[in-house]
Amino acid sequence: MLTSTFVHLNGIGPATERRLWDSGIADWNTFRRETQVPGISPARKVAYDADLTVAQTHLDRHNARYFADCLHTRDHWRLLPTFGARALYLDIETTGLSARDGQVTIVGLYRLGRMRTLIHGESLTQAAIQDELDQADLLITFFGTVFDIPYLQTCFAGLRVEIPHFDLCFAARRVGLQGGLKSIERELDIARESDLLQLDGLEAVRLWQQYRTGQEAALDQLVRYNAADTRNLEPLAACLYEQLVVRYGPPAPARRG
């Protein structure tokens, strides 16, 4: 999918990219082999060839950060096959107040098949979050561009997010799935433990308050709730990716990594 992408080139949008695909130019190599491309002047063709060579170099070096900068966030989903193996799935819980007045209570991090839970007052530090981000190639959240990441960056000034960010909330909307994480999970038959089905973000706030008054079991349930939210982002991302490819990707023969 990534080597079929042309919208990162200055002056090429979705319509031109679609036209390229329809004319048989399905990937970077094919584009560069052509001596001329209809609708693109020879001078621009030379510039684009150079840009694609640079992009190929970064792809060969597995440099996801390059594509974070040159691709619109709307198109970061295209990076899933290439960088998904080293994706970091992230979900936070808070005290329920605004980022200025509140606190992060739990940070769930799922990477390489391993769940890590950072708890306020115990393991939750800026360094721990930064360490996970630095080791990942792709960040995947639900509504994280609006809520999780800005909240974390308010609580932990200087936290750097330099990797591409695939926000599943807006991806879901683009394929016609409205609603929050739980309702979309139900719609796509993504399972979670039955005793966690009734929980939501506000309940998570109450569980934290109960834990602070000494109820250890509340923390256990909160951690499991957060882990379910975080882990379920993986099958949700895969499902949404498939739908995005059908809707916005190249014709079937060109759909590769």
Q: Which residues bind DNA (CB under 7 A)?
A: 10-17, 19, 38-41, 43-44, 73-74, 91-94, 96, 98, 142-143, 145-147, 150, 167, 169-171, 173-174, 178-181, 200-202, 204-205, 229
Task: Name the minimum Å distance from CB 7 to DNA.
Answer: 8
Q: Which is nearer to DNA, 42 or 135 (CB)?
A: 42
Q: Which residues are 40's β-sheet partners?
A: 37
Q: Report the residue count for the chain.
A: 257
Q: Which is nearer to DNA, 42 or 257 (CB)?
A: 42
Task: Name the minimum Å distance from CB 29 to DNA.
Answer: 21
Q: Which is nearer to DNA, 116 or 174 (CB)?
A: 174
DSSP characters for 14-27? HHHHHHHHHTT--S
Task: Name the minimum Å distance from CB 100 to DNA.
Answer: 8
Task: Name the minimum Å distance from CB 158 to DNA.
Answer: 16
Q: Which is nearer to DNA, 36 or 194 (CB)?
A: 36
Residue type, 149: I
